[in-house]
Structures are given as structure tokens and as C-alpha cells.
Amino acid sequence: MIIKNLITHVISAPLEQPFYFSQGYVYRRSSVIVEVIGEDGTSGFGECMCHGQQSPFLASSFVENCYKEEVIGKDSLDVEVIWETLYNKARPFGQQGIAMNALSGIDIALWDLNGKQLKQPISRLIGGRFREKLAAYATGFYRLDGKKYPETSVEDALKFKEEGFTAMKLKVGFTPEKDIEYIRSIRKAVGPDVRLMVDFNACYSQAVARRIILELVPENIYFYEEILTPEDMEGYKALRNLTASYMAAGEEIFGKIEINNWLKNGALDIYQPDVSSAGGITECKKMAAIAQAYNTAIMPHAWGSGVSLAASLQFISSLPYTPMSFCPSELFLEFDRSSHPFRKELINDGIRYENGYIYVPDAPGLGIEVDRDILEKYKVVK
């Protein structure tokens, strides 16, 4: 369908109580929602995910000032042609970071429009579904002023377990000594059967990371996420085969060329692209094919609103097992449980979660309805 217009909705809301992680405080949750409007008036929606300390005006400016004029007038079915055109246009001034983040939201919106035009969920247009539901792991455990740790997190972990989660990801990175004590306390509380992952948000050196990983061997950590900075690929390589725990990263790795570099160098066990930041559905499918060639698991990062979560669900349902077998290793999807004023409301709570599983929506496109009242309610202007 010919694209008649592209609108960038910048939405943001302050948190009632700011939380903090290893890089500082998060005061707001924000998203850039990209809307492409076809010639018959149908809209497709996509999202540029905003990290906790990322202004939404970065991606919106890139969409508006670099990409928008290249999209209007094009046929939305030429989604890969549009992707390559935009990627090439940004070559002299950025093909990573915010450039890919902005491109991702447009790409998802085009796929949503195509799905609506063809009356199929996106997953059916990108190869079909290997699964109708996904095991979810709970992400939460951000820190709040005035609370005691690890006590507060032990309570949260037990609550998640009660809700049916069999896997959860802790947020750490507050000195090695405190991290080790904290992780041990939670393992003791939830018992040996819960899959524990830990996310450091890129805060340690290789030497510190090695000490933490070795001391935590008895706690049977499933994966270590971003224990080092993404610039330190050599460090990841050195840590990867230190213990049986997996090394994971990806929310700061963009595009197929970068992931090929990481996997060729044997630096990761689990790759965590964010479909609304790493390059959209078009690029993430290619990145997934590269990961498959290295038999590397993909467990997407998902920290945006319901639009981004819906895109992740359509994408991940289309990923083959690596490798196929009678009892293959199941993929997990990140299910963000941290404070967010409009994550669910933006899509009218349109994604079903039950007993540890999230269900892939069946309706055309992303399979969700974006609530325009919520877009208006949280709209911000600069």
C-alpha cells in the first residue's frame, strides 16, 4: 500500500517513584510510536524503544529529519527496499545506536500495515510460527529509595514465583560484594528450580566479572547479561567458557554485521536483540539467521511499551529452534514487570499472559490495537 503520511508520536510519563539500576536513576518511561498511514487510511504502528535514560526526542528527531521523506510515497510491501534505502542514507553519520533505533520503529510500522492489508499476523508473513506461546521470564528488581536490599527483592522474587514465573532476571551491579550476597539470598529464597538470570547493565571490568562468576558457581546462574561493556568483545570471549553459565548481551548490538562479528569471534552464548532497536523485524530476521548459522540462541530484549512487546512476540514466534530436535531448548521472552505508566494501556491490555506464558496475538499485523486516547494523554512536545 502506498504510504501517504508518517506521524511520530512522542509519549512519555514520569514514574510515581523513580527507580535506579547500575547506571543511575530512571525518572520517566518514554516511547516513540511511529505511525505510517496508507492511501486507504489504514495505519500501521511501530515503536522505537527508549532505554531508561534515553530521551525519546533522539529517535523522533532522526525519524523526522532523516527518514520520513524517504518513506512517504513508497509502497509498504517494499519493506526491505525501504529498509536498505534508509540504512544507506544514514551511512555517513551513523548506522548504529539511535540511527538503528529510529529505523526499527519505521520498519515495524510497515510490517504492521502490511499485515493489516493482507489480513495476516506478521509472524505468518515472515515464515510462520514455530510456537503460539512463549515462556516468559520476569524482569523487575529495580531498586527504590527507602527500601532494604536484598529483603525487598526476596519478596519480589517470591511474588513472581507465586504468579507462575519459572525464570526471572535480577538487576545487579552495585559492587561485587553486595551483588554476590544479594544473588545468594534470592537463590536461597526461591530454591533450586527457578531459572535465575542476572543483568549488570555493562558495569564491570573483566577482572571483577571473573571473580563474581567464579564465586557464584554454586548458585547455578542461567545467564550473565551485559556483565561487561559492549565495547569489550575480547572480555566476553575470555569469560564465555569460564563456567557452565551462559554469556548474554545484545541490547546494544545493532544490525547483522555487528552480530556476525560477535558470533564469528565466539563471544556470546545468547544473543538478545531488541526488535524495536536493533533494526526492526526486517533486520532482526537476518540477524536471527546469522545466529542460527552459529547455533546460538536468541532471547530478545523487550523493554518498551506493548507495541514493542507485540513486535517481539511476532518476531520470536517465527524463529526456528537452534537446533531442531525432539526436545529442543525453548526460547524465553523478556517480560518487563517494572514500573511503566502506559505499557499495557497503550494497547488496551491486548496481550495475554497466563501461568508463565505470553500468547502470540492472532489478529492482523502486530495483532494489537493502539489506543489513540493514550497516545494523546502521554504526548510530549519539545
Nearer to Mg ion, 22 or 296 (CB): 22
Per 3-state DSSP, the chain is made up of helix, strand and coil in percentages (nearest 5) of: 40, 20, 40
- For the bound state, the minimum distance from the C-beta of residue 169 to Mg ion, rounded and expressed in Å, comes to 8
Please state, in angstroms and rounded to a whole number, the distance separating the CA atoms of residues 268 and 287. Answer: 14
Asked if 369 contacts 138 with a C-beta cutoff of 8 angstroms, the reply is no
> Which of 9, 51, 301, 340 is the catalytic position?
301
Helix (H, G, I), strand (E, B) or coil at 229: coil
Least distance from Mg ion to the Cβ atom of residue 300, Å: 11
Instruction: Find out whether 71 and 113 touch, Cβ atoms under 8 Å.
Output: no
Residue closer to Mg ion, measured from CB, 199 or 336:
199
**Is 301 among the catalytic positions?**
yes
Per CB under 5 A, residues contacting Mg ion are 199
- When the beta carbons of 35 and 258 are compared against Mg ion, the nearer one is 258
Using the minimum distance from each CB to Mg ion, give the nearer residue, 199 or 232. Answer: 199
Could you tell me the smallest distance in angstroms from the CB atom of residue 272 to Mg ion? 7
Q: Taking Cα atoms as reference points, which of 79, 143, 71 lies closest to residue 112?
A: 79
Interatomic CA distance for residues 223 and 296, integer angstroms = 13
Identity of the residue, 112 or 199, whose beta carbon is nearer to Mg ion in the bound complex: 199
Q: Which amino acid is at 76?
A: S
For the bound state, the minimum distance from the C-beta of residue 303 to Mg ion, rounded and expressed in Å, comes to 8
Closest residue to Mg ion, based on beta-carbon distance? 199
Q: In what order do the strands lie in the sheet with 24-38?
A: 3-21, 24-38, 43-49
Say if residues 112 and 44 touch (Cβ distance below 8 Å).
Answer: yes
Q: How far is the CB of 124 from Mg ion (least distance, A)?
A: 30
How far apart (Å, rounded) are the C-alpha atoms in residues 207 and 95? 31
**Active site amino acids:** 301
